[in-house]
Amino acid sequence: MSLTFRVACNQKGPVTMTHIVEITDLRKSYKGGFQALKGVTLGIEQGEILALLGPNGAGKTTLISTICGITMPTSGSVTVAGHDILTDYRAARSMIGLVPQEINLEPFERVVNTVRFSRGLFGKPSDDAALEKVLRQLSLWDKKDSQIRELSGGMKRRVLIAKALAHDPRVLFLDEPSAGVDVELRKDMWEIVRKLKDDGVTIILTTHYIEEAEAIADRVGIIADGELLLVEEKTKLMARMGQKELEVQLTERLSEVPANLRSGALTLSRDGCALIYTYDTTSRRISPSAAMLARSLVMPVRSALVSYV
């Protein structure tokens, strides 16, 4: 299943002094003039979990990379706990941990050394107790002497988080922590994120999965085509976007909804190539899955798509 983003709104997070990260009119044009960020203004509250949701190429990684000092902004400003990311970059970066989208670990290095090295990069003195705390927090303590290449994909992702936390940052950026991980691991990741929030860490994560934002975020920002379209408290957003559509694409055209599926909630698309089921996300009724609909059909199904309407 995939998602479509049909939200269009110009509401942006008001910038106040309580924000740990202040982003003001941030723009980024890459070489050749491509505008990846078109004036993003956003205030991130201390201790919140903010999910940035958006399709491929929306500008999520560019936004995070710019805040973390990996990508140079073209214009605009960012401060982290009052420190400007350009003029006061050492102080700003010391507050930040980044879990990158790609796994980029040295395969022959041991877990404990990898994490220790990350702490050293920030000029922090070696601290075995802090190291143990981070590794235990991420259930990596029993793997501390393993080489990275001996770990599963999910464990490698946890090492990335441990590295990002090694210097005790107050703001953690997770760039698609759930990409390519199974449902169980995704839930583990959510648990880790919740515990970090309990420890007072502010968390910004990017995701393609609205379910992920729904599960853990306090606020959700929707970014598309370099613009922040909306930032809103999750509960308010979910209430406002309470209707979901399940669109089942058919391999053959229908002229009408099959008799066995006739109900007010199911309609046929104008071209007859898709069945659309509209349901309320706040309803306690169990919504039909694509598989269930497919089983009820006499025709093969090409794909299914869920979107908020």
Ligand X SMILES: Nc1ncnc2c1ncn2[C@@H]1O[C@H](COP(=O)(O)OP(=O)(O)OP(=O)(O)O)[C@@H](O)[C@H]1O
Binding site for ligand X (CB under 6 A): 30, 34, 36, 54, 56-62, 101
Work out what residue 36 binds among ligand X, Mg ion, none; the CB cut-off runs from 5 to 8 Å by kind.
ligand X
| DSSP designation for 14 | P
Closest approach of ligand X to the CB of residue 80, in Å: 19
- Closest CB to ligand X among residues 176, 232: 176
- Closest CB to Mg ion among residues 116, 208: 208
Closest approach of ligand X to the CB of residue 132, in Å: 33
Work out what residue 66 binds among ligand X, Mg ion, none; the CB cut-off runs from 5 to 8 Å by kind.
none
- Closest CB to ligand X among residues 62, 94: 62
Residues that bind Mg ion (CB under 5 A): 60-61, 101
- Closest CB to Mg ion among residues 171, 174: 174
Provide long-range contacts, Cβ within 8 A and 24+ apart, for 184-192.
185/154, 185/157, 186/212, 188/139, 188/154, 189/157, 190/215, 190/216, 192/137, 192/138, 192/158, 192/161
Give the residue carrying structure tokens 């099959």. Answer: 258
Closest approach of Mg ion to the CB of residue 62, in Å: 8
Instruction: Please name every residue paired with 249 in a beta bridge, in sequence order, or none if there are none.
Output: 274, 303
Q: How far lies 160's CA from each of 15, 112, 115, 268, 306, in Å?
A: 31, 12, 8, 46, 31
Which residues, at least 6 apart from 239, have a Cβ–Cβ distance to it below 8 Å? 282
Work out what residue 94 binds among ligand X, Mg ion, none; the CB cut-off runs from 5 to 8 Å by kind.
none
- Closest CB to ligand X among residues 61, 114: 61
Work out what residue 117 binds among Mg ion, ligand X, none; the CB cut-off runs from 5 to 8 Å by kind.
none
Sheet holding 19-29, edge to edge: 35-45, 19-29, 75-80, 83-84
Q: How many Cα atoms within 13 Å fall on the side-chain side of residue 297?
A: 24
Work out what residue 43 binds among ligand X, Mg ion, none; the CB cut-off runs from 5 to 8 Å by kind.
none
- Closest CB to ligand X among residues 60, 163: 60
Work out what residue 56 binds among ligand X, Mg ion, none; the CB cut-off runs from 5 to 8 Å by kind.
ligand X
Residue 2 CA to chain centroid, in angstroms?
Answer: 15
Closest approach of ligand X to the CB of residue 188, in Å: 22
- Closest CB to ligand X among residues 34, 108: 34
Work out what residue 58 binds among Mg ion, ligand X, none; the CB cut-off runs from 5 to 8 Å by kind.
ligand X
Which two three-digit tokens encode residue 147? 């080489």
CA–CA distance, 39 with 228 (Å, rounded to integer): 8
Which H helix or E strand runs over 112? helix 111-121
Work out what residue 62 binds among ligand X, Mg ion, none; the CB cut-off runs from 5 to 8 Å by kind.
ligand X
- Closest CB to Mg ion among residues 53, 80: 53
| Cβ(177)–Cβ(205) below 8 Å | yes
Closest approach of Mg ion to the CB of residue 207, in Å: 10
Closest approach of ligand X to the CB of residue 247, in Å: 22
Closest approach of ligand X to the CB of residue 120, in Å: 28
| Cβ(253)–Cβ(300) below 8 Å | no
| Cβ(78)–Cβ(67) below 8 Å | yes
Closest approach of ligand X to the CB of residue 153, in Å: 18
CA–CA distance, 88 with 86 (Å, rounded to integer): 6
